[in-house]
Structure 1
């Protein structure tokens, strides 16, 4: 197992980087939850592609944990204990192989000559024991150095996938905010994985008298490694979904963006007013259109006069004015508005 010293060292190294960032995310989440932020929107197309890539990679990582994709364990295959003589072990293996022993089997037969080599086999797997040319049973660190490449390969591959999924070039601002978090988590997982492999005591299997008591460390960590990486991809995908749809971790609207939005609204209103002025000018200049407009307003005045002259309408208006509308307040507001407007004109004349 990983020693407490290793865990403490990892926490001391990465804690100062992760803790302030976690606190900042939490505070940002609470502040944005209390105030109205940006409206919830559908997933942007770029983020949708990134989520699709992360989902596919996570599924592939989970599929890689299935027994059919794992390296073969000859002890499980032959149902043999760790103390079994090597000749008996490979005799059983030969009996269940229709085409005889493979080249890897023959190399393993030459290497698994002692209990130490069998224990190293359970820790580093068949590839390291059978194919490593510079490894020796009395130097277990040599197997560790040989295995580093195969252990780090899925970590590097997954880091590259996360880098692409959080790239500002391909995803945009929604991805860049999680780029550092994804990188730090990937590095931490890789460091913990390598530390666990380095600190694991392979001799703990020496006293196991039954197959069920053996700790198949190499195959167990392979499964854990790929499941954790798939979980990391799922976590980053979930965070991307929340932030890109403004459901959480919303980036506040900057003053520049607010100013740009207000400018666009004003430009749109000015364009509509200009169009209305052009239309009104056209109507006033055309005799036929001006006549139709005058006819409309004359008819409108006549119809409204007839309606407002009806007894029921008069009673309803009087009732509203007396009981529901504060005419004094309306008059005061109108008077204040008129004074402010006329005062601005007077100040302009005085300045001229």
Structure 2
């Protein structure tokens, strides 16, 4: 049963001012999470790339399945006939459109069923395949067609659920970090797929197929089966596309990031300190090598003598002298700056205990 537009408008007016600020706040927190946790945008890992490619490919197939060219034929639309047209006239029109003017086996099965209006109404609810192939269904028991149609209805949802499980499984993503990124959204995506399946089943079961009995013209016919089929495949494509987007945002640290654990932070700091220690040791080795070699030591002393001479010449330039005088006239605490620089230099070159004693003294 469709929800009236007035009810939807009233719900939006009532809940909109309450939910919109919360949604905006949640969006801002999601966008700011990487910066807060100190995480930078990174390239997309190869396992996540494969998972996203599979999800987008399946979503594209689902979208293609919604096109009319890939949908089962609606003989009323094909023949431009109204619902109450006599069966012989309807299938004579249909045979004129068939190759060789010959009806198919499905057409013949439908022709036998279309003697009653109830069968035509059930055709619009469940489609041609169910009405033509069900061996135990009768128009006197409309629910029998629903029971027969359930496997075909649930097949796209079950297939999509398998694709979601495969694309987000640790066996497929292999790497631990990639597996952690995909497994975070597996439960939500699976629940969404199962939820759409139950909604689809309820929608078809609750549909009032007798409403089409009042349709006197072709434009008034509600082709429910074709509408529900398009929505079914479109919902599956939407779930896959959203899951692919979430995986992309999380894997590249653009959003939905998980802050590193304390153990990971300690490990990262230890790794960074090890790298810095290696650089300092390498610099010490280079310095010792330069000081022990006469030629390199002479070149080093010549370089620094040249740099000192350039610095003196620079300090004697007019612009530099005027800048220094201007700084002194503006009461910049040059001595304080020099004192802070001296304390900083001692803190770098001397043990911590000696610096404390000297500062206290």
TM range (shorter): 0.7 to 0.9
- Confirm whether residue 207 of structure 1 aligns to residue 208 of structure 2: no
1:267: which partner in 2?
274
Deviation at 1:27, TM superposition (A): 6.3
Distance 2:56 2:320 in 1: 70
Q: Which residue is 2:205 aligned to?
A: 198
Deviates more, 1:316-325 or 1:153-162: 316-325
Please point out which of 191, 196, 199 is paired with 1:189: 196
The gaps in structure 1 that reach 5 residues or longer are 5-22
| 8 Å contact kept, 2:122–2:142 | yes
Distance 1:333 1:112, change over 3 A: same
Aligned to 1:16: none
| Unpaired stretches in structure 2, ≥5 consecutive residues | 5-20
Mapped to 2, the partners of 1:343 and 1:73 lie a distance apart of: 87
Q: Secondary structure at the match of 1:118?
A: helix
CA distance in 1, matches of 2:96, 2:252: 59
Distance (Å, rounded) in 2 between the aligned partners of 1:84 and 1:309: 104
> What are the Cα deviations for residues 110-132 of structure 1, in whole angstroms up to 9, with x where unaligned?
22232212211111111111111
The counterpart of 2:29, out of the listed 31, 40, 54, is 31
Distance 1:314 1:217, change over 3 A: closer
Contact 1:28/1:249 (8 A) holds in 2: no
Which residue pairs with 1:307 in the alignment?
313
1:82-97 equivalences under 5 Å are 82-97=83-98
Q: CA deviation at 1:226?
A: 1.6
The TM-score normalised by the length of structure 1 is: 0.79
Q: Secondary structure at the match of 2:296?
A: helix
- Report 1:219-234 matches (<5 A): 219-234=226-241
Query: Distance in 1 between the 2:315 and 2:342 partners?
Result: 29
Q: Retained in 1: the 8 A contact 2:250–2:256? A: yes
- The 2-side partners of 1:68 and 1:280 are apart by 77
CA displacement at 1:49 relative to structure 2: 3.0
Which residue in the other structure is 2:265 paired with?
258
- Aligned-residue offset at 1:150: 0.9
CA contact (8 A) 1:104 1:130 kept: yes
Q: 1:65 to 1:32 in 2, by over 3 A?
A: closer
How far 1:195 moved relative to its partner? 0.3
Report the Cα offset of residue 272 of structure 1: 1.3
Flag the 1:86–1:280 CA change in 2: closer, same or farther, 3 A. Answer: same
Alignment of 1:34-45 (within 5 A): 34=32, 36-37=35-36, 38-45=39-46
How well do the aligned residues superpose, as a CA RMSD in angstroms? 3.4
Residue 125 of structure 2 is matched in structure 1 by 123
> Greater shift after overlay, 39-48 or 140-149?
39-48
Mapping of residues 96-245 of structure 1, within 5 Å: 96-99=97-100, 100-168=102-170, 169-170=172-173, 171-245=178-252
Does residue 70 of the first structure (1) align with residue 45 of the second (2)? no
Looking at structure 1, the residues matched to 323 and 215 of structure 2 have their Cα atoms a distance apart, in angstroms, of: 98
